[in-house]
Structure 1
Amino acid sequence: MLGLTVGALVVAALTAIAAGFVRGLAGFGLSVVLVPVLALTIPPAEAVLTGNISLFLIGLTDIGRIRRDAERSAIPIGLIALLCAPLGLWALTALPPAWARLLIAFVSLGAFVLVVIPLGKIALSRKPAMGISGVATGFFTGFAGMPGPGMAPFYLRGKLPPRVARASMMAIFLVTTPLAAIMFLALGIGGLETVMLALVLFPAVLVGDWFGHRAFGRVTDRQWQASVAVVLGGAALAALVKLLA
């Protein structure tokens, strides 16, 4: 079914639940969890497209939350990301599949490192930091279907309340992911079968996202930051272990 065995579909559905939970709790991370696992059984570009479609669909369920809580910084970061997404897509299509799988796994690891590594006395002013975040967000959107690693350091390391940081990242996802999906389909990457896979997995994503939202409402700010780092680190290590195995 959809190019996958029954066993692979079960694994994909379970991964989608975990990915949805991470996204509901953290505001990002769905593709960080989902794409590396899917890329082990389907072409990496199709795995990225599936992640982008899933992110867009789940984003539609949070429009009210985004309008209420997101910070205005999401607008310039999102616009810059839209301009840079084609660069990431070019890199994805230019690389052999084996290298793309490897780099996608390392993007997962990078998301964890960028969030937890201490910056010491080095700090950028807000506007340059927003520009770098927008470029990185756009590149990772096109290359790995993972806008999160580009924007996570800006929002998670800042002084914004988790509610605002989370909604701001969701707003950027809602803008960048449909464009990335359209670019993929226009270039002949993926097709109806890939879109159907994303739709089949969406109920699992929705279930996980619901539990993630409930968990977010029960944790303190520090617990939220720690849980995001732990989940990202675990997902990255799992992706690397499966890739190397």
Structure 2
Amino acid sequence: MFELGFFEWAWVAASIFAAGVVRGIAGFGFSLIVTVLLTLVLPPAQVVPVVLLWEIAASIGHLPFVYREVDWKSLGWLTSGMLLGTPLGVWMLTCLPPAPMCAVINGTVIVFALMLLRGSKPRRSPGRLETALIGMSGGVINGASANGGPPVILFFLSSPAGAAVGRASLIAYFLLTDSWASLFCWQNGLFTLDSWLFMALMLPPLALGVALGSRFFRGLDEEKFKKLVLLLLLAVAGAGLLKALF
């Protein structure tokens, strides 16, 4: 197991709990928060594979409670596009300079998030082809920068279906994408015995955080939830933009 002192283990547990609360409220955001906080005490190579396992565990534990609210029809088209777009994103990652590409991606997300914060909304819901293209853009971005969530988050946030449907659909979507990414980690030998032990040891603070976040969500109205998610999305995209620029 990783060699950490008492205070470092306390930091790890508190970080996972805090990120779990955000995940329980919004349906996303866990990976970004916990990766930033844990890499202060652990190397990224040890953190990233375990974060995927925690994400999958959180989704598996969360999905049964929101299963009936998932927009499975839209999710199917988004996932189809994501599976097609991911290889193209990986190709872009190997052939194009990463920093300018990430800057453009995150800058675009910031523009759209600010538009939604100002009250701009699409005049109609996207059709099947448009939904698949949004999923494909998420797959391309995920393959190129490992951050393909924003297009899909914006898709569900601007949907007239409501906050509960969008949140539930995001939980299901990230279960699919994280499972897909985990297959590549497993193929490359990134999951070790320490990874599984570390994941299992920190399941209690994760479960407690997600449960508490879910309770907070039930007390939020539609507009407060959307504003919270957009602000979180701006923070994610802003962090990605700063990383690309500096």
Tell me the TM-score range normalised by the shorter chain. Answer: 0.7 to 0.9
2:93 and 2:172 map into 1 onto residues whose CA distance is 24
Partner of 1:2: 2
Matching residue's letter, 1:216? F
- The CA deviation at 1:112 is 6.0
2:40 and 2:145 map into 1 onto residues whose CA distance is 14
1:216 and 1:231 map into 2 onto residues whose CA distance is 14
Partner of 2:217: 216
**Aligned pairs for 1:144-183 within 5 A:** 146-183=147-184
2:13 and 2:92 map into 1 onto residues whose CA distance is 28
CA deviations 1:47-79 (Å, max 9, x no partner) are 332222111111111332343001120112123
Provide the secondary structure at the position in 1 that maps to 2:160. coil
Provide the secondary structure at the position in 2 that maps to 1:188. coil
Matching residue's letter, 1:29? G
- The CA deviation at 1:203 is 1.8
Q: 1:115 aligns with which of 102, 113, 134?
A: 113
CA deviations 1:7-27 (Å, max 9, x no partner) are 443322222112111111111
Q: Judging changes above 3 Å, is the alpha-carbon distance between structure 1 residues 18 and 112 closer, same or farther for their aligned structure 2 residues?
A: farther
**Aligned pairs for 1:67-82 within 5 A:** 67-71=67-71, 72-82=73-83
Partner of 1:137: 138
2:105 and 2:48 map into 1 onto residues whose CA distance is 12
**Aligned pairs for 1:37-56 within 5 A:** 37-56=37-56
- The CA deviation at 1:85 is 4.0
Is the contact between residue 141 and residue 176 of structure 1 (CA under 8 Å) also seen in structure 2? no
- The CA deviation at 1:105 is 11
CA deviations 1:111-134 (Å, max 9, x no partner) are 666433456889994445423431
Q: Identity of counterpart residues, as a percentage?
A: 26
Is the contact between residue 50 and residue 198 of structure 2 (CA under 8 Å) also seen in structure 1? yes
Q: Judging changes above 3 Å, is the alpha-carbon distance between structure 1 residues 216 and 137 closer, same or farther for their aligned structure 2 residues?
A: same
Is the contact between residue 70 and residue 171 of structure 1 (CA under 8 Å) also seen in structure 2? yes
1:88 and 1:5 map into 2 onto residues whose CA distance is 39
- The CA deviation at 1:144 is 6.1
1:86 and 1:68 map into 2 onto residues whose CA distance is 31
Matching residue's letter, 1:116? L
Matching residue's letter, 2:27? G
Q: Which moved more, 1:29-38 or 1:207-216?
A: 29-38
Partner of 1:63: 63
2:69 and 2:177 map into 1 onto residues whose CA distance is 19
Q: CA RMSD in A?
A: 4.0
Instruction: Name structure 2 gaps, 5 residues minimum.
Output: none
For the pair shown, the structure with the greater C-alpha radius of gyration is 2
1:184 has 2:182 as partner: no
Provide the secondary structure at the position in 1 that maps to 2:202. helix
